Amino acid sequence: MNSSLELRHGQSLRALNTFGIDATAAAYLRVTGVDDLRAMRADPALSEMRRLVLGGGSNVLLTGDFDGLVLHMANLGTAVSGEDGHSVFVTAQAGENWHAFVQWTIDHGLPGLENLSLIPGSVGASPIQNIGAYGSEVADFFHSLTAFNLDTGEMLSLTKDDCAFGYRDSVFKHGLRDRAVIVEVTFTLPKRWQPNLRYAELAAEIDARGIQSPSAKDISEAVVAIRTRKLPDPAKIGNAGSFFKNPVVSAEQRHALLAQHPAMVSYLQADGSYKLAAGWLIDQCGWKGKSLGAAGVHEKQALVLVNKGGASGAEILQLATTICDDVNASFGVMLEPEPVLV
Ligand SMILES: Cc1cc2nc3c(=O)[nH]c(=O)nc-3n(C[C@H](O)[C@H](O)[C@H](O)COP(=O)(O)OP(=O)(O)OC[C@H]3O[C@@H](n4cnc5c(N)ncnc54)[C@H](O)[C@@H]3O)c2cc1C
């Protein structure tokens, strides 16, 4: 065993997942750089274990103890890494906190990421589900990333096309699932910046603050204010943000559903399909504010499942499955979980 590795056995993961699920990992490694990953692969006992890469633990549901090795990303550093005529490139290490990184870019006069303020988690996880909020998503500002290939021990350089970003989706949920550890991400931030106020609630918040030409900092503060009002703080009540993705249905299915539910909320997509509001569907089934044991549905946001205190991952999963069944029975629409089930 490599003595320089910060390895622990039987590590509690309770403080390492925002649901606050009390699960343990058979082995835990704090990863401060690629050398730790190389040393882990070189160690026969560790390289054979099942692996889970963890950043801030804000998009996972631990359904039980993890019998493998948790690789907890803790490599730090943020720097301007180049520029061209249109953009400034900024590279951040995977273990950096996402919101702190967004604030760093704004404080350094590099706007672009402000609509994504206060999303919990790490920089390294931001491409995994192409995080998005308030009319922006990471893919809009993504340039490239470097990852460690757990199968071969080689470094991978991936461009935006390689990542195959979609709605809460990327290659890291498919072909590269559990095979690549993202080590650093480079973002391209526009030299000619325009505020993005396409999201009506954000535009209204800026308006209510009496701001005519908002700066990136104004937008970030407005986003933080809206999010703080709407979303439960994981430090106070365990949750992983939206538990379900908004389902996408065909125009025909939407038409048939609207005939039965004229108040149904839907948004036209570029390909002619429609995105439905999962929160609305769940609310219609009467789940808002309800619980099953210690697992609950948030009283203000039907899309957010919460740990009301001491819930197990299995209890949260049971609630999620029951809600899915109800929505399917009422609307014929299958909801998909957004967090990764472990
Ligand atoms: C209150 C709240 C609000 C939220 N709001 C939003 C929102 O508005 N929009 C949004 O998109 N998401 C939102 N989320 C979800 C979450 O913040 C994001 O998905 C975030 O990117 C997860 O980061 P993390 O570091 O916590 O990832 P983790 O939960 O640690 O991991 C998530 C997945 O990514 C993998 N992973 C993590 N780091 C790496 C890495 N370096 N290399 C390879 N794989 C890795 C893990 O194995 C796992 O599969 C919210 C969550 C909470 C709790």
Closest CA to 54 of 15, 92, 90: 15
Q: How far is CA 229 from CA 167, 220, 233, in A?
A: 25, 14, 10
Res 257: pLDDT: 96
3-state SS string for the chain:
CCCCCCEEEEEECHHHCCCCCCCEEEEEEEECCHHHHHHHHHCHHHHCCCEEEECCCCCEECCCCEEEEEEEECCCCEEEEEECCCEEEEEEECCCEHHHHHHHHHHCCCCCCHHHCCCCCECCCCCCCCCEECCEEHHHHEEEEEEEECCCCCEEEEEHHHHCCECCECHHHCCCCCCEEEEEEEEEEECCCCCCCCCHHHHHHHHHCCCCCCCHHHHHHHHHHHHHHHCCCCCCCEEEEECECCCEECHHHHHHHHHHCCCCCEEECCCCCEEECHHHHHHHCCCCCCEECCEEECCCCCCEEEECCCCCHHHHHHHHHHHHHHHHHHHCCCCCECCEEC
Q: Is residue 11 scored above 90 in pLDDT?
A: yes
Q: Which residues are catalytic?
A: 168, 242, 338
Q: Which numbered atom of ligand 1 lies nearest the CA of 168?
A: 11
Tens of pLDDT, residue by residue over 310-333, are 999 999 999 999 999 999 999 999
Res 209: pLDDT: 98
Q: Is residue 2 scored above 70 in pLDDT?
A: no
Tens of pLDDT, residue by residue over 87-129, are 999 999 999 999 999 999 999 999 999 999 999 999 999 999 9
pTM: 0.95
Q: Which numbered atom of ligand 1 lies nearest the CA of 131?
A: 11
Res 4: pLDDT: 72
Q: Whose CA is nearest to atom 4 of ligand 1?
A: 241
Tens of pLDDT, residue by residue over 64-93, are 999 999 999 999 999 999 999 999 999 999
Q: Mean of the per-residue pLDDT values for the chain? A: 96
Res 81: pLDDT: 98
Averaged over 210-217, what is the pLDDT?
Answer: 98
Q: β-strand 340-341 against 248-249: which pairing, if any?
A: unpaired
pLDDT band at 5 (very low <50, low <70, confident <90, very high): confident
Q: Which numbered atom of ligand 1 lies nearest the CA of 173?
A: 49
Residues with CB under 6 A from ligand 1: 18, 52-60, 73, 94, 119-122, 124-126, 128-129, 131-133, 181-182, 231, 234, 239-241, 340
Averaged over 221-225, what is the pLDDT?
Answer: 98
Q: How far is CA 265 from CA 51, 60, 134, 255, in A?
A: 40, 28, 17, 12
Res 3: pLDDT: 52
Q: Is residue 278 scored above 60 in pLDDT?
A: yes
